Structure 1
Amino acid sequence: MRDRIVQLVALLLAGTFIVLGGGLLPTIVEKAGQDHLLVAVVDPETRVRMPEVEIEKIYTSMIRKLSTVEAVSGDDDVEVGYDARTKTWTGSLGDVIKVKWRDGGETREVTGILEARDGYGLRYTDSSVEGAPPIVALGTAIGALRGVIVDYLWLKVNMMKEDGEFYEVMSDAELITKLQPRFAQVWGFHGHNMAYNISVMTNTPEERWDWVTAGIDLVRNQGLRYNPNDVVLHKDLAFWFAHKIDGVSDDAHFHYKKQFAEEWHYLLGPAPFDHEKRIAWIKAVADAPESLEEAEARVPGTQEVVDELSEALDAQGPQFRMNLDGEFLINLGRWLAVKNSPYARILGLDSAFKANDPVYAAFDRVLSDPKKQAAVLNFLAFLRAKVLREEYNMNPNVMYEFTRDIGPLDWRHPQAHALYWARLGTERGSKRYEGVEDVHKVINNDRIWLQAMQALARSGLLSVDPMSQENPGRLSDPRWIRAIDRYFREVYDKHYDSRGGGGDSFSNFHENFMKQAVRELWRAGEYKDAEEMYAYLDSLYGVGGVIPSSTYSVPIEQFVKNQATGEYEMQPEVARSDVYASLRRGFREGLLLDRPEVLEDAIRFAGELTAYFKGNESNDYVNKFGAGRIKDLIGDLETSVRDVFRVVLLDRSLPLIDRLQIYNLAGDEQKRMAYDAVKAEMESEFMATPLAQAMQFQQAFPEPPGMDAYRKSQAIAAEAAKARREAVDVGAEKK
Structure 2
Amino acid sequence: MNDRLRKIILLALAVMLLIGSALMQRGLNHDRDALGLTRVTPLENAPPLLAFTTVALGGFRGLIANALWIRATELQEEDKFFEMAQLADWITKLEPHFVQVWIVQAWNMSYNISVKFKDFDDRWRWVQRGISLLRDEGLKYNPNEVLIYRELAWQFQHKMGANLDDANMVYKQAWIYEMASVFGKGEPKLDDLLIPKTEEQMQRLSILTNKFKMDPAFMKEIDSKHGPLEWRLPEAHAIYWASLGLKAAEKNPTKVKPDDLITLRRVVYQSMQLSLQRGRLIADGYAKRFDFGPNLEIVQKVSDVYEQAMLDEPGMSNNIATAHRNLVGNAVYFLYEHDRIPEALKWYKYLGEKYPDKTLLSNAPDSFPKNTSLEEFAVGRIIEDVSETSRDRVKAAMEGQLARSYRQLVLGDKNRAAGLRHLAQMLHEAYTKKIAGGANEKRIGLPAVEDVEQQVLSRLLDTKEQFWPPMMRAALRSALGMPLEIATPNSSDTNAPPGVAVPGK
Fold conserved between structures, TM > 0.5: yes
Q: CA deviation at 1:481?
A: 1.0
**Cα distance in structure 1, aligned partners of 2:135 and 2:203:** 20
CA distance in 2, matches of 1:283, 1:659: 32
Distance 2:165 2:497 in 1: 44
- Structure 1 residue 635: deviation in Å? 0.6
Which residue is 2:370 aligned to? 553
Counterpart amino acid of residue 460 in structure 2 = V
Aligned to 1:639: 451
Letter in 2 for 1:461: R
Q: Determine if contact 1:454/1:484 at 8 Å carries over to the other structure.
A: yes
- Seen in structure 2, the aligned counterparts of structure 1 residues 562 and 438 have a Cα distance that, compared at 3 Å, is farther
SS at match of 2:198: helix
Look up the equivalent residue of 2:451 and give its one-letter code: T
Question: Could you tell me the TM-score, scaled by structure 1's length?
Answer: 0.56
Residues 454, 501 of structure 2: 8 Å contact kept: no
- CA shift digits 1:157-208 (9 cap, x unpaired): 2221111110110111111212222222211111110111001101211111
> Residue 460 of structure 2 contacts residue 473 of structure 2 at CA under 8 Å; is this kept in 1?
no
Q: Secondary structure in 2 aligned to 1:410?
A: coil
Structure 2 residue runs without a partner (length 5+) = 1-39, 360-365
Tell me which residue corresponds to 2:356.
Answer: 542
The CA distance in 2 between the partners of 1:664 and 1:467, in whole Å, is 19
Report the counterpart of residue 397 of structure 2 in structure 1: 578
Cα gap change, 1:703 to 1:581, in 2 (>3 Å): closer
Q: Is 1:621 the equivalent of 2:438?
A: yes
Displacement after TM superposition at 1:681 (Å): 6.8
Q: Which amino acid in the other structure matches residue 439 of structure 1? A: P
Q: Separation in 2 of the partners of 1:580 and 1:283?
A: 31
Within a 5 Å distance, the mapping from 1:335-414 to structure 2 comes to: 378-414=198-234
2:279 aligns to what?
460
**Quick one: distance in 1 between partners of 2:160 and 2:171?**
6
User: Conserved in 2, the CA contact under 8 Å of 1:231 and 1:430?
Assistant: no
Q: Distance in 2 between matches of 1:507 and 1:464?
A: 35
Between Structure 1 and Structure 2, the one with more strand by share is 1
Q: Match for 1:519: what amino acid? A: Y
1:446 alignment counterpart: 265
CA distance in 1, matches of 2:126, 2:182: 21
* Equivalent residue for 2:192, pick from 275, 279, 284: 284
Report the CA distance between 1:215 and its aligned residue. Answer: 0.8
Q: Secondary structure at the match of 1:463?
A: strand
The match for 1:212 is: 127
Find the counterpart in structure 1 of residue 163 from structure 2.
Answer: 248
- 2: CA distance between counterparts of 1:246 and 1:661? 37
Give yes or no for the alignment of 1:263 onto 2:165.
Answer: no
- Alignment size in residue pairs: 452
- SS of residue paired to 1:473: strand
**In structure 2, do the counterparts of structure 1 residues 204 and 550 end up closer, same or farther at CA, with 3 Å as the change threshold?**
closer
**Preserved contact between residue 458 and residue 497 of structure 2 (Cα < 8 Å):** no
Give the corresponding residue for 1:68: none
| Equivalent position amino acid for 1:400 in 2 | K
Within-5 A mapping of 1:468-483? 468-470=287-289, 472-483=290-301
Alpha-carbon separation, structure 2, partners of 1:380 and 1:521: 38
Alignment deviations for residues 651-698 of structure 1 (CA, whole Å, 9 cap, x no partner): 746464245325423414xx59x989x7447799xxxxxxxxxxxxxx
Distance 1:255 1:558, change over 3 A: same
Which amino acid counterpart does residue 245 of structure 1 have in structure 2? Answer: M
Give secondary structure in 1 for the equivalent of 2:57: helix
Q: CA deviation at 1:440?
A: 2.0
Structure 1 pair 266–582 and aligned structure 2 pair: CA distance change class (3 A): farther
Give per-residue Cα distances to partners, 1:450-493, cap 9 Å, x unaligned.
111111112222123689553x2212221121120122233333
Residue 441 of structure 1: SS of its match in structure 2?
helix
Is the contact made by 1:430 and 1:442 (CA closer than 8 Å) also made in structure 2? Answer: no
**Do residues 427 (structure 1) and 335 (structure 2) align?**
no
Q: Deviation per CA, 1:215-264: give whole Å up to 9, x if none.
A: 11111222122222222222222222122222221111222222222221
In structure 2, the residue matched to 1:660 is 473
Please give the alpha-carbon distance, in whole angstroms, between the structure 2 residues aligned to 1:637 and 1:538: 34
- Per-residue deviation, 1:152: 2.4
Over the aligned positions, Cα root-mean-square deviation in angstroms equals 3.5
Q: TM-score, normalised by structure 2?
A: 0.80
| Cα distance between partner residues in 2 of 1:702 and 1:478 | 22
Cα pair 1:454 1:480 within 8 Å, conserved? no
Structure 1 SS opposite 2:443: coil
Give the letter for the 1:287 counterpart.
I
Residue 370 of structure 2 aligns to a residue in which SS?
A: coil
Partner in structure 1 of residue 25 of structure 2? none
Q: Greater CA deviation, 263-272 or 250-259?
A: 263-272
Which of 401, 409, 419 is the matching residue for 1:601?
A: 419
Following TM superposition, by how much is the alpha carbon of 1:591 offset from its aligned partner in structure 2, in angstroms? Answer: 4.1
| Contact 1:231 1:425 (8 Å CA) reproduced | yes
Instruction: Quote the residue 1:191 is aligned against.
Output: 106
The residue matched to 1:464 in structure 2 has which SS? strand
Query: Could you tell me how far apart the structure 1 residues matched to 2:231 and 2:384 are?
Result: 32
Residues 241, 212 of structure 1: CA spacing in aligned structure 2 closer, same or farther, 3 A cutoff? same
Q: Percent identity?
A: 25
Letter matched to residue 480 of structure 2: G
Aligned letter for 1:485? S
3-state SS of 1:167 partner: helix
Is 1:510–2:327 an aligned residue pair? no
Residue 604 (structure 1) shift: 1.2
2:61 equivalent to 1:153? no
Output the CA distance in 1 between the equivalents of 2:231 and 2:500. 36
Residues 112-150 of structure 1 deviation map (CA, whole Å, 9 limit, x = unaligned):
xxxxxxxx999xxxxx99x97133212211112222222
Partner of 1:628, secondary structure, is helix
- One-letter amino acid matched to 1:444: T
2:19 paired residue number: none
Question: d(CA) in 2 for partners of 1:559 and 1:439?
Answer: 39
Task: Write the letter of the residue equivalent to 1:539.
Answer: E
SS in 2 for 1:140: helix
| Alpha-carbon separation, structure 2, partners of 1:705 and 1:414 | 29
- 1:543 is displaced (CA, Å) by 4.6
Rounded Cα–Cα distance in structure 2 between residues aligned with 1:144 and 1:657 = 73
- Distance, in Å, in 1 between the alignment partners of 2:98 and 2:420 is 55
Change (3 A) 1:495 1:184: same
Deviations 1:7-48 (A, max 9, x none): xxxxxxxxxxxxxxxxxxxxxxxxxxxxxxxxxxxxxxxxxx
Q: How far apart are residue 386 of structure 1 and its match?
A: 0.9
| Shift, 1:610, TM fit | 1.0
Counting only pairs closer than 5 Å after superposition, residues 687-726 of structure 1 correspond to structure 2 as 704=499
Q: Secondary structure at the match of 1:387?
A: helix
SS at match of 2:214: coil
Mapped partners of 1:442, 1:450: distance in 2:
13
User: 1:191 corresponds to which letter in structure 2?
Assistant: A
Instruction: Return the alpha-carbon distance in structure 2 between the equivalents of residues 463 and 706 of structure 1.
Output: 17
Shift of 1:425: 1.5
Work out the CA distance in 1 between the residues paired with 2:70 and 2:286.
48
